[in-house]
C-alpha cells in the first residue's frame, strides 16, 4: 500500500507541478480548475495518510507554511550586483565604447536586451534540483530568507528541471481549462527536456505584481472602504516580506528569471541568451520581451520600440537592461564597484520642463468633482507641446505651494497627463500670493464642498450644467450607450442651447429637429445621423445603461454584476440596502454610492423618463435564466461542498436562473450546505430558510 501510495504521490506531484507551470508560467492551462483541484485534493489525502511521503517540493506546501517571528538574514554566496544607468542613446553608446575598447576591432559583440522589471529582486538557490533557499537582494551582500513565502509563488519551480508527466493525464481528453485537448509537443519539449543541472544553481530574478491584478486589488480595497496601495512595486515587495506566508500566498505575484549567478553560469551555458533559454527549459518564466540583438544599434532600436509599448504591458518596467551576450567577455570586463561593466540599464529620461504657470483653473467632472489644472506658457517636452497640466486637487496645490505666476517644473511621462511638480522658488515674483481654491462652482455658482476623508472638492448641485455636459459625454461614450456624434463638443452645445436638462432628454431631441437644423453648421445629414444614433442606442444592454448613468464607483464590471441580481433599472433603483449588501463583490463604498445616487429625486425622475422614452431598461437576452428551474429563487452557499467549488455551484445556480447572495436574510429561499458550515446555517435555521445539500440541488435542476 505504502509503495503504491508513494508512486501515486510522486505522479501527482509531477502532474500538479506541470499544470501549475502551464497555468502560471505559460499562461495556457490544459485542464479545468476542477480537474486541477481534484489532483491537489488527492495528493493532500495521500499526504495526510502518509506524512512520511511529504517532500520538500510538494505543491501542497505552496499554500503557505506557518507564521515566522522574524526573517533570518542570509549572506549571499556571491554579491548580487546592481546596474549603472544610461538616460539616452548617446549615454548607451559611451558605455558600449568602453566595452568595445577591450576587444579587437573585429570582435562581434552581441547584446541581449531585457526589460528591467520593477519589482523585488530575489535569488533562488537550488541544490540537486530542489529549491532550498529564496532570499531578497538586500544590500547585495546580505538579504532576508523568504523561502517559505517564495514557495507560494506558483511560477517559481520547487524542483528543476520541471519534469513532464510520463503519461498524459487521464482527463486530458475532455480538458477545458485552456481549450487545448492534448498537451502540445512543443510545450512538453520546453518544460520537460533533458537538461543538465549543476549541483548548486543560483538563479536571480524579479518578483512583481501584475498591473491588472494590482488595479483589481485596489478596486476591491476601495470598494470595501480600505486603504489602497501606492504602486505595484512596493506592494510586491511588501507581499514577499510578510511574516505569515499565507498572506504572500493570497497575492497573485509573478516571477521572471533573468540571470544565473556568474560563476555557475559558465558551467551550463556560454552566453546570456543561452542562459535565458536554459532557464526557460528548466521551467522558469522568462520575459518574452527579451531579445538577442546583433549590434548595439539594433539593441537601441529595439529598446526604443519597446519603450513605446511599455504602458500596455502587464508588468511595470523602468527601462531596458542591455547585456553583453558572451560570458567570456563578462570575465574580461569585470565590475566597477557594485555594477558589472558588461551591462547597463537604458532608461528614458523622465521628461521635465520649466515654464510659467499663467493661471489655475478648475474643471467640473460628471460626478461633480472639481479638478484644478494649470494653464501654462506652452513649452515642448519630449516632442509634444504642453500647455495644460493637472494639479490633482486642492491639497496638492497647497502642499506644494503652487501659485499663479510661478515658474514651475512640469513632468510628462509616457501617455499620462502632464503634471506640475512644483514651483522654482528663486523665480517667484515678489507680489505672489498663495492660491485660494474657489469656493463656488465656476459654472453654476453653487458652493463647493469637501467630504470628510476625501481629497476631492465637489460641486454638489446635481443640476450643474458643467456636470451635465460630462454626464452626457459619458452616457454617449463607447463603453456606455455608444452614440456616434455625441462627443464633448456636441454635448456642450446641447446643454448650452438648453436642448437637454438631463441625459434622458436626448431621447426627445427628435421633436426638436427643426430647431436643431437652425443651428450653425447643422446640415440635415448631420442632424439625422445624430438622431438615428440616439434612437439606435435605446436597445443597449442593461449593464451598459447602468454604467452610462455615471454613478460613482460603478464601472463596467460592477454594472455587469448588478444585472446578475436585478433584471431592470427600475428594480435597481428601488433596491434596499439589504438587497445590495447581499451581493457578493459589492463593497460598502459601492453600496453607499448606489444608495446615494438613487436617493436623489432627480435620479428617480431620470429612470422614469428613460422608461417613458422607450429606452430598454429591462434585461434582455437572458431567456434561459428567467425560464430556468431556479428562476426567482435566491440561494446562499456555505461550507465545503463534497465535489464542487463555490464558484462552480454559483455558476450552476445562475445557469438555471437562480440568484446567489452572500448572506442569509428573510429573502433567502435556500441555503446550500456543505461540510463545516458555520453561522449561516444557524441563521438559516432561525429564519426557517430551507437547506439543501449539493446532491439535492443537482436533483432540483
Ligand atoms: S541584471 C549583475 N536583469 O534591476 C546584473 N536586473 O540595479 C544584475 N532588474 O536589482 C542585474 N530586471 O532587481 C538584471 N532583466 C534584468 C532585470 C534586472 C530587473 C533589477 C534587479 C536589480 C536592478 C539593477
- Residue of minimum CA distance from atom 11 in ligand 1: 82
pLDDT at residue 174 is higher than 70: no
Query: Which residue's CA is the closest to the ligand 1 atom numbered 6?
Result: 116
CA distances from 687 to 23, 182, 659, 665 (A): 43, 50, 19, 8
Residues marked active site are found at 116
CA 539 remoteness from chain centre: 31
> What's the pLDDT band for 622 if we cut at 50, 70, 90?
very low
Closest by CA position to 49, among listed 17, 4, 5 = 5
Predicted pLDDT of residue 2: 63
For the stretch 596-611, pLDDT in tens is 999 999 999 999 999 9
- The reported pLDDT for the residue numbered 398 is 94
Residue 206 CB–ligand 1 contact under 6 Å: yes
Task: Please determine, for residue 173, whether its predicted confidence score (pLDDT) is greater than 50.
Answer: no
Q: With a 6 A CB cut-off, is 582 part of the ligand 1 pocket?
A: no
Quick one: pLDDT at residue 417?
A: 81
Indicate the helix (H) or strand (E) that contains 439.
none
- For residues 299 and 95, the answer to whether their CB atoms sit within 8 Å is no
The residue whose CB lies within 8 Å of the most ligand 1 atoms, and thus the one to mutate among 76, 81, 83, is 83
Among 167-176, 359-368, 407-416, the range of highest mean pLDDT = 359-368
What is the pLDDT confidence band of residue 266, given thresholds at 50, 70 and 90? low
- The CB of 343 under 6 Å from ligand 1? The reply is yes
Q: How far apart are CA 203 and CA 255, in angstroms?
A: 12
pLDDT band at 470 (very low <50, low <70, confident <90, very high): very high
Is residue 388 pLDDT above 70, yes or no?
yes
- From ligand 1's centre to the CA of 83, what distance in Å? 7
Residue 424 pairs with which residues in a beta bridge? none
Measured between alpha carbons, how far is residue 369 from residues 244, 394, 595, 597 in Å? 40, 11, 18, 15
- Under the banding of pLDDT at 50, 70 and 90, the label for residue 621 is low
52 burial (CB, 10 Å; 0-12 / 13-18 / 19+) is exposed
Q: Determine the average pLDDT of the residues in 262-290.
A: 87
Report for 92-96, 163-167, 263-267, 420-424: range of highest mean pLDDT:
92-96
User: What is the per-residue pLDDT for 148?
Assistant: 92
Check pocket membership of 82 for ligand 1, CB cut-off 6 A.
yes
| Shortest-distance atom of ligand 1 to CA 343 | 5
Distance CA 126, CA 164 (A): 19
Q: Which residues neighbour 243 within 8 Å (Cβ) at sequence distance 6 or greater? A: 67, 68, 69, 70, 71
CA of 263 to the centre of ligand 1 (A): 17
Q: Is 326 in the pocket of ligand 1 (CB under 6 A)?
A: no
Amino acid at each position: 500500500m505504502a509503495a503504491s501510495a508513494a508512486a501515486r504521490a510522486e505522479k501527482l506531484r509531477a502532474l500538479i507541478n506541470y499544470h501549475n507551470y502551464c497555468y502560471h508560467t505559460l499562461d495556457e492551462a490544459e485542464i479545468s480548475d476542477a480537474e486541477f483541484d481534484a489532483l491537489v485534493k488527492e495528493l493532500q489525502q495521500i499526504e495526510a495518510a502518509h506524512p512520511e511521503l511529504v517532500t520538500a517540493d510538494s505543491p501542497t506546501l505552496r499554500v503557505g507554511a506557518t507564521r515566522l517571528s522574524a526573517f533570518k538574514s542570509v549572506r549571499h554566496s556571491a554579491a548580487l550586483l546592481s546596474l549603472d544607468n544610461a538616460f539616452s542613446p548617446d549615454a548607451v553608446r559611451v558605455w558600449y565604447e568602453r566595452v568595445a575598447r577591450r576587444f579587437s576591432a573585429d570582435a562581434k559583440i552581441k547584446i541581449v536586451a531585457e526589460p528591467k522589471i520593477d519589482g523585488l529582486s530575489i535569488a533562488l538557490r537550488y541544490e540537486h534540483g530542489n529549491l532550498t533557499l529564496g532570499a531578497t537582494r538586500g544590500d547585495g551582500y546580505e538579504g532576508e530568507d523568504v523561502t517559505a513565502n517564495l514557495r507560494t509563488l506558483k511560477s517559481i519551480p520547487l524542483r528543476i528541471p520541471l519534469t513532464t508527466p510520463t503519461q498524459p493525464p487521464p482527463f486530458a481528453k475532455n480538458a477545458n481549462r485552456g481549450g487545448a485537448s492534448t498537451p502540445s509537443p512543443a510545450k512538453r519539449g520546453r518544460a520537460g527536456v533533458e537538461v543538465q543541472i549543476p549541483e548548486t544553481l543560483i538563479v536571480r530574478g524579479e518578483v512583481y505584481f501584475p498591473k491588472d491584478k494590482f488595479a483589481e486589488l485596489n478596486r476591491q480595497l476601495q470598494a470595501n472602504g480600505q486603504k489602497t496601495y501606492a504602486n505595484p512595486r512596493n506592494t510586491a515587495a511588501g507581499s514577499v516580506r510578510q511574516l505569515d506566508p499565507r498572506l504572500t500566498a493570497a497575492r497573485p505575484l509573478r516571477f521572471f528569471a533573468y540571470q544565473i549567478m556568474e560563476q555557475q553560469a559558465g558551467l551550463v551555458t556560454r552566453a546570456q541568451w543561452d542562459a535565458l533559454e536554459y532557464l526557460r527549459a528548466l521551467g522558469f518564466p522568462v520575459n518574452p520581451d527579451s531579445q538577442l540583438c546583433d549590434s548595439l544599434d539594433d539593441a537601441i532600436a529595439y529598446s526604443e520600440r519597446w519603450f513605446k509599448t511599455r504602458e500596455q504591458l502587464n508588468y511595470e518596467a523602468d527601462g531596458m537592461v542591455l547585456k553583453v551576450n558572451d560570458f567570456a567577455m563578462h570575465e574580461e570586463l569585470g565590475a566597477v564597484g557594485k555594477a558589472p561593466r558588461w551591462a547597463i540599464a537604458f532608461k528614458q529620461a523622465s521628461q521635465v520642463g520649466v515654464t510659467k504657470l499663467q493661471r489655475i483653473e478648475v474643471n467640473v467632472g460628471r460626478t461633480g468633482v472639481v479638478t484644478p489644472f494649470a494653464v501654462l506658457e506652452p513649452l515642448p517636452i519630449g516632442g509634444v507641446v504642453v500647455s495644460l497640466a493637472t494639479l490633482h486637487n486642492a491639497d496638492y496645490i497647497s502642499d506644494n505651494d503652487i501659485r499663479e505666476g510661478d515658474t514651475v517644473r512640469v513632468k510628462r511621462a509616457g501617455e499620462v497627463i502632464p503634471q506640475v511638480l512644483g514651483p522654482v522658488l528663486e523665480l517667484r515674483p515678489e507680489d505672489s500670493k498663495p492660491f485660494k481654491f474657489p469656493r463656488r462652482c465656476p459654472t453654476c455658482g453653487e458652493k463647493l464642498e469637501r467630504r470628510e476623508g476625501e481629497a476631492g472638492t465637489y460641486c454638489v448641485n446635481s443640476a450643474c450644467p458643467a456636470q451635465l455636459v460630462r454626464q452626457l459625454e459619458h452616457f454617449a461614450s463607447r463603453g456606455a450607450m455608444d452614440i456616434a456624434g455625441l462627443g464633448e463638443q456636441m454635448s456642450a452645445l446641447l446643454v448650452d442651447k438648453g436642448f437637454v436638462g438631463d441625459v434622458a432628454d436626448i431621447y426627445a431631441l427628435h421633436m426638436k429637429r427643426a430647431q436643431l437644423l437652425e443651428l450653425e453648421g447643422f446640415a440635415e445629414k448631420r442632424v439625422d445621423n445624430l438622431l438615428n444614433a440616439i434612437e439606435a442606442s435605446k436597445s443597449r444592454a442593461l449593464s451598459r445603461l447602468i454604467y452610462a448613468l455615471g454613478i460613482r464607483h460603478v464601472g463596467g464590471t460592477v454594472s455587469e454584476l448588478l444585472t446578475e441580481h436585478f433584471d431592470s433599472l427600475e428594480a435597481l433603483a428601488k433596491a434596499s440596502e439589504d438587497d445590495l449588501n447581499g451581493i457578493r463583490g459589492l463593497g460598502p463604498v459601492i453600496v453607499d454610492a448606489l444608495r446615494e445616487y438613487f436617493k436623489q429625486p432627480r435620479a428617480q425622475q431620470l429612470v422614469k423618463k428613460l422608461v417613458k422614452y422607450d429606452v430598454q431598461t429591462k434585461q434582455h437576452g437572458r431567456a434561459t435564466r428567467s425560464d430556468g428551474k431556479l428562476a426567482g429563487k435566491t440561494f446562499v452557499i456555505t461550507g465545503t461542498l463534497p465535489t464542487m467549488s463555490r464558484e462552480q455551484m454559483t455558476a450552476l445556480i445562475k445557469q438555471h436562473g437562480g440568484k446567489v447572495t452572500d448572506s442569509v436574510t428573510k429573502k433567502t429561499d435556500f441555503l446550500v450546505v456543505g461540510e463545516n458550515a458555520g453561522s449561516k446555517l444557524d441563521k438559516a435555521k432561525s429564519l426557517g430558510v430551507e437547506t439543501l445539500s449539493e446532491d439535492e440541488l443537482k436533483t432540483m435542476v
